[in-house]
Amino acid sequence: MRKGNAVTRRQFLKGSLGVAALTIVPRHVLGGPGQAPPSDTFGGALVGCGGRGPGTFADLKGHHGLDVALLARCDVRFADRADNKTIYTDYRRVMERKDIQIVAIGTHPGWHALISIAAMEAGKDVLCEKPMTRFIAEGRAVAEAEKRYGRIFQIGTYGRFGANRRTHKLMSSGLLKKCPVVHIQRGGVKVREWSGMVQYQVGPPPRWLDWDMYCGPAPVRPYQGHRFGGTHRGYWDYEGGGLADMSQHHLDGFNYQYARDYISPVEVEVYAPPAHPEACGMWGWVEMRYADGLTLVFDSGEWGEAYSRKSPCDVTEDDLSPEDREKLRQMPDPEPLIGFGEAVKTRKQPGGHAEAAHRTATLFHLANIAIRTGRNLRYDPVKEQIVGDEEANRLVYQPMRAPWRL
């Protein structure tokens, strides 16, 4: 399918009848009496079938209103029963299929970027579970792939759709030169719950699990059950603790409301104990400041002293001069955000597009880098690099195990 969906799905199906004749496809995908037309139906695949995966795929119909048939499932747990027809362990085989237009991703975050990029390169739209990525450079690569291949991408979190659009208009107007906002996110990030184990017994992986594929671009560690399933969140190899697990939810609306979808903080300050090199652990608070003065604080609420240096505060039109308030009033209101389903049908950018999701993910990635290095950071939001700290900067673009690469 050409970039920008220049070939319609009707044309695609019409030109592929020779292939379709050899493939068993559900009737509603082909259309016909009593069935939705092909232009309104989609072939779908789910990559990562445990945990949230089935819910993410179900959201395609329930939350997003798309008529999607599940044609392929891919999971590292299918090692003893993959048939490479409808059940797979290698996502690359799924991307070869021309009857799949939408991919839902529910793997651990260490795979999110590579699978998303491969899907978009193959002409497929992507609904990906949170968090978007495992490190900052992956998010930039996904955002560039979204633009390069003209696909629809969204993270499965929707806080921005209920955010205050009046504040968004004020913050994006350019009239407020200095921002007094202090946003403090207290608790709710499961720091203790998603801490990793620093001592454990290892053994052979179960026969049904492709452990090498599970590890993917991360180092291959000896198998230990706590690294698999939901508790994978406690290890830097696959995620980033409770901070990475929950913050895309908490900050999705924050980033939109305060017009942060295209910028990032410039300073990070941390209060945390020394971090383990493999296992995520406890931390106290992280303060991040933008160039305009807006301050964002993560307070874990689970370790050390609570953050109390600043009080939460917001911004209103009263922070503008009377002249600027009149200018703001004359500006058009922001267009309503559209969801993934409408974006797929109209080919318009969804509200939670890749750039916005990347800038949200950058917040908790920067916080985790400060926690892991145990020191304050300066960040260049244009170059997307940490300034004057090469050790910390290596966590912005982390190495991947061959043959995987961005």
CA–CA distances in Å: residue 178 to residues 65, 235, 292, 295: 41, 38, 5, 11
Do 92 and 170 sit in the same domain of this protein? Answer: no
Do 254 and 323 sit in the same domain of this protein? Answer: yes
Q: Is residue 256 a contact partner of residue 163, using CB atoms and an 8 Å limit?
A: yes
Least confident of 29-43, 98-112, 390-404: 29-43
Q: Is residue 170 a contact partner of residue 328, using CB atoms and an 8 Å limit?
A: yes
Does residue 388 sit within a domain? yes
Does residue 401 sit within a domain? no
Least confident of 11-25, 228-242, 281-295, 374-388: 11-25
Does residue 305 sit within a domain? yes
- For residue 149, what pLDDT is reported? 98
Q: How many structural domains are present in the chain?
A: 2
Do 243 and 296 sit in the same domain of this protein? Answer: yes
Nearest to 228 by CA among 84, 75, 88, 362: 75
- For residue 391, what pLDDT is reported? 96
Do 120 and 167 sit in the same domain of this protein? Answer: no
What is the spatial distance between Cα 355 and Cα 164, in angstroms, rounded to a whole number? 20
Q: Which of these three, 114, 142, 158, is where a domain ends?
A: 158
Could you tell me the pLDDT band of residue 31, with boundaries at 50, 70 and 90?
Answer: very low
Do 186 and 92 sit in the same domain of this protein? Answer: no
Do 135 and 265 sit in the same domain of this protein? Answer: no
pLDDT tens string 78-115:
999 999 999 999 999 999 999 999 999 999 999 999 99
- For residue 158, what pLDDT is reported? 87
Do 136 and 184 sit in the same domain of this protein? Answer: no
pLDDT tens string 144-195:
999 999 999 999 988 899 999 999 999 999 999 999 999 999 999 999 999 9
Q: Is residue 4 a contact partner of residue 16, using CB atoms and an 8 Å limit?
A: no
Q: Average pLDDT in the 185-211 region?
A: 96
The DSSP code sequence of 141-189 is: HHHHHHHHHT--EEES--GGGGS-HHHHHHHHSS--SS---EEEEES-S
- For residue 38, what pLDDT is reported? 52
Does residue 219 sit within a domain? no
Report the share of the chain in percent with pLDDT over 90. 89
Do 179 and 109 sit in the same domain of this protein? Answer: no
Do 127 and 190 sit in the same domain of this protein? Answer: no
Do 257 and 109 sit in the same domain of this protein? Answer: no
Does residue 92 sit within a domain? yes
Does residue 232 sit within a domain? no
Cis peptide before 206 (omega within 30 of 0): no
Does residue 400 sit within a domain? no
Does the pLDDT value for residue 294 go beyond 80?
yes
- For residue 7, what pLDDT is reported? 40
Does residue 203 sit within a domain? no
The residue segments making up the domain with residue 150 are 3-158
What is the spatial distance between Cα 333 and Cα 396, in angstroms, rounded to a whole number? 36
